[in-house]
């Protein structure tokens, strides 16, 4: 995320403001209030689990109160962009660990280096190597990993069978064939909500990975390849336009992801491109899990599409010790084991193991997705900074709705990248 200049300036001057300090306060009652801003979890069971974690922690630590403020994804981004570097900033903020979001706040000196707490609580021994990599990429330790998610295609087995699809697609060509069969059978192939931008973005990211390959994909998102000169970029935008026209739910651009998900829950769309957290959402909607399957995005690169979220402590927080104590509890083996499957199907805590007796068929399917993955490629709203992401979305939406020729899309993106830092 690219911070506004005023936020960066606020970081430099915040210590001059009388009485200012990030996050909660230590009142005369002797109770420290830790302000925690989080991204809202869509599954009711996951939100209930968070509430229980807070209640249990506060019971064991009566001198600390955790004040959680959950927001929708875009509202959370906006709130952080406005508050970071001011007295309105939280003590802890939930954010993605990619270079384009969490990384921008690290670069803006908004995140505290947690090396002392990693030593105190031995966090470097707690987390998996995959979970530690994103929080150590800037030097030191920025953020505490709490969930690593993969994204893949969920599908309705009955609708696939109705369309005569007997095997899950293994290539993008096979995915196209499956989508056509579903459409020909009178079934909406896949659901998307276009108002939130990042929902449709997942499919475009998939096409770029599959058509460009891993090496070129990584070069594109790090400005080491030219979007306007790679034919695979044009192919990807062309594919997106075809899918939006022929295979998306009608009117997708005017609804959000929750509304489009209802189409999948209700058996009105055959596929949903979602993350492993969708398991809990499906269960919460009382769908028959035997009717739902999941398969890896068929890019042929064998990389997992996904991302990590971390809990960051703000640099100017006056309650770092209390915040760290809570995060130590939140990521402990006990809590992570109790909540496994609600936030993600695999824990960032290396001592947490799936309970075979409790694991659903979808949980087991995801276990195979993770184990078979050869590396990770991240969502582009985490690879790109905020202004670049907005342009990526603008071009994506124009192409998807027929307002821009796919042949011009790559050049448009490159033009913006050349003009931005």
Q: Three-class SS of residue 403?
A: coil
Residue 87: inside a domain: yes
Residue 366: inside a domain: no
Residue 370: inside a domain: no
Same domain, 166 and 128: no
Residue 12's pLDDT is what? Answer: 38
Q: Is the pLDDT higher at 42 or at 180?
A: 180
Residue 365: inside a domain: no
pLDDT in tens, 153-170: 999 999 999 999 999 999
Lowest average pLDDT, out of 12-26, 128-142, 322-336, 361-375, goes to 12-26
Distance CA 144, CA 338 (A): 18
Residue 98's pLDDT is what? Answer: 78
Same domain, 252 and 134: no
Distance in Å from the first CA to the final CA of the chain: 12
For residue 164, what are the CA distances in angstroms to 111, 141, 293? 52, 51, 16
Residue 353's pLDDT band, with cuts at 50, 70 and 90, is confident
pLDDT in tens, 8-56: 443 333 333 333 445 555 656 799 999 999 999 878 889 999 999 999 9
Q: Which whole number is the average pLDDT over 254-276?
A: 97
Q: Is the pLDDT higher at 194 or at 12?
A: 194
Highest mean pLDDT among 3-7, 32-36, 220-224, 347-351: 32-36
Residue 73: inside a domain: yes
DSSP letters, 171-240, are SHHHHHHHHHHHHHTT-EEEE---TTSHHHHHHHHHHHHHHH-HHHHHHHHTTSS-TTT-HHHHHHHHHH
Q: Which whole number is the average pLDDT over 381-386?
A: 88
Same domain, 116 and 205: no
Helix pair angle (231-246, 172-184), 10° resolution = 20
Residue 9's pLDDT is what? Answer: 41
Same domain, 88 and 119: yes
Residue 254: inside a domain: yes
* Element spanning 257, H or E: helix 257-265
CATH of residue 179's domain is 3.40.190.10
Residue 17's pLDDT is what? Answer: 32
Residue 1's pLDDT is what? Answer: 40
Residue 181's pLDDT is what? Answer: 98
Residue 289's pLDDT is what? Answer: 87
Residue 17: inside a domain: yes
Residue positions counted in the chain: 421
pLDDT in tens, 47-83: 999 999 999 999 999 999 999 999 998 899 899 989 9
Q: Three-class SS of residue 363?
A: helix
The whole domain housing 200 covers 150-305+375-419
Residue 24's pLDDT is what? Answer: 56
Same domain, 289 and 159: yes
Whether the model pTM is above 0.85: no
Q: Three-class SS of residue 184?
A: helix
Residue 281: inside a domain: yes
Q: Which two tokens stand for residue 86?
A: 């001011």
Residue 8's pLDDT is what? Answer: 42
Distance CA 396, CA 386 (A): 15
Same domain, 143 and 169: no
Give the total number of structural domains in the chain: 2
Same domain, 312 and 388: no
Query: Does 224 score more than 70 pLDDT?
Result: yes
pLDDT in tens, 322-332: 999 999 999 99
């Amino acid at each position: 995320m690219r911070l506004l200049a005023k936020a960066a300036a606020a970081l430099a001057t915040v210590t001059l403001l009388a009485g200012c300090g990030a996050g909660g306060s230590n009142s005369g009652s002797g109770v420290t209030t830790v302000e925690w801003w989080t991204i809202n979890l869509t599954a009711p069971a996951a939100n209930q689990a968070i509430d229980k974690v807070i209640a249990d922690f506060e019971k064991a630590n009566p001198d600390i109160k955790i004040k959680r403020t959950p927001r929708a994804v875009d509202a959370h981004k906006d709130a952080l962009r406005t508050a970071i570097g001011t007295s309105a900033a939280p003590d802890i903020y939930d954010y993605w660990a990619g270079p384009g979001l969490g990384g921008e706040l690290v670069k803006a000196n908004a995140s505290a280096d947690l090396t002392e707490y990693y030593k105190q609580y031995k966090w470097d021994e707690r987390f998996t190597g995959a979970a530690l990599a994103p929080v150590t990429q800037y030097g030191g330790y920025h953020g505490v990993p709490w969930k690593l998610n993969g994204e893949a295609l969920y599908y309705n087995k009955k609708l696939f069978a109705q369309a005569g699809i007997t095997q899950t697609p293994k290539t993008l060509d096979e995915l196209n064939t499956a989508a056509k069969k579903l459409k020909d059978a009178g079934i909406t192939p896949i659901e998307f909500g276009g108002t939130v931008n990042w929902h449709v973005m997942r499919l475009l990211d998939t096409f770029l990975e599959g058509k460009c390959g891993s090496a070129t994909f990584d070069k594109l998102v790090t400005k080491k390849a030219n979007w306007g000169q790679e034919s695979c970029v044009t192919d990807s935008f062309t594919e997106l336009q075809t899918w939006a026209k022929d295979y998306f739910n009608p009117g997708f651009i005017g609804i959000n992801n929750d509304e489009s998900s209802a189409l999948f829950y209700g058996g009105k769309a055959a596929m949903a491109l979602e993350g492993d957290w969708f398991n809990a959402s499906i269960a919460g909607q009382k769908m028959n899990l035997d009717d739902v399957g999941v398969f890896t995005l068929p890019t042929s690169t064998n990389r997992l599409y996904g991302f990590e979220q971390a809990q960051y402590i703000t640099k100017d927080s006056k309650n770092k010790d209390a915040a760290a104590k809570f995060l130590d509890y939140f990521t402990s083996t006990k809590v992570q084991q109790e909540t496994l499957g609600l936030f993600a199907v695999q824990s960032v805590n290396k001592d947490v193991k799936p309970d075979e007796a409790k694991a659903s068929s979808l949980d087991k399917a995801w276990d195979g997705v993770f184990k078979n993955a050869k590396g990770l490629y991240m969502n582009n709203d985490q690879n790109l900074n905020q202004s670049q992401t907005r342009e990526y979305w603008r071009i994506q939406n124009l192409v998807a709705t027929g307002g821009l020729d796919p042949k011009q899309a790559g050049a448009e993106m490159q033009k913006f990248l050349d003009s931005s830092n």
